[in-house]
């Protein structure tokens, strides 16, 4: 399997919202999670209200059965919308969360850059 095939498999099971729909989902109670490393957030900017959980911590912080979970990780029904810079690593991370039973996990189509194009920096 190649990384492109792995990405395609991950995305085939994700309902990836565009920025407008993601904003509507957040208004309805979903959580937006920025998985980019600090240097990338500093370079590109941030989305107001997004949680910051870098990629290497995502599963431990969002799995409701983990001792390292955040308070918002109350059950497997929480809607998590992950994003990275362009929506590649966040697709793989969202699929990993689905593998843990977090059925409403997904990622932002186009990542931070799509959000920035839609709403500004």
Greater confidence, 121 or 75?
75
Statement: residue 121 has pLDDT above 80: no
pTM: 0.96
Burial class (CB in 10 A: 0-12, 13-18, 19+), 88: middle
Q: Which CATH number fits domain 3-119: 3.50.50.60, 3.40.250.10, 1.10.10.10, 3.30.70.260?
A: 3.40.250.10
pLDDT tens, 10-64?
A: 999 999 999 999 999 999 999 999 999 999 999 999 999 999 999 999 999 999 9
Tens digits of residue pLDDT in 60-100 = 999 999 999 999 999 999 999 999 999 999 999 999 999 99
The string of pLDDT tens digits covering residues 110-120 is 999 999 999 98
Structural domain boundaries in the chain: 3-119
- Spell out the SS3 assignment of 48-110: CCCEECCHHHHHHHHCCCCCCCCCCCCCCCCCEEEECCCCCHHHHHHHHHHHCCCCCCEECCC
């Amino acid at each position: 399997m190649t990384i492109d095939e792995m990405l395609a498999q991950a995305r085939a099971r994700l309902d990836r919202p565009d920025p407008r729909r993601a904003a509507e989902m957040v208004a309805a109670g979903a959580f937006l999670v920025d998985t980019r490393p600090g240097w990338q957030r500093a370079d590109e900017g941030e989305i107001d209200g997004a949680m910051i959980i870098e990629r290497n911590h995502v599963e431990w912080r969002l799995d409701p059965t983990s001792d390292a979970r955040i308070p918002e990780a109350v059950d497997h029904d929480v809607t998590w919308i992950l994003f990275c810079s362009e929506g590649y690593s966040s697709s793989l991370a969202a699929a990993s969360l689905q593998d843990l039973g977090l059925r409403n996990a997904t990622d932002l189509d186009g990542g931070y850059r799509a959000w920035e194009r839609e709403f500004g920096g």
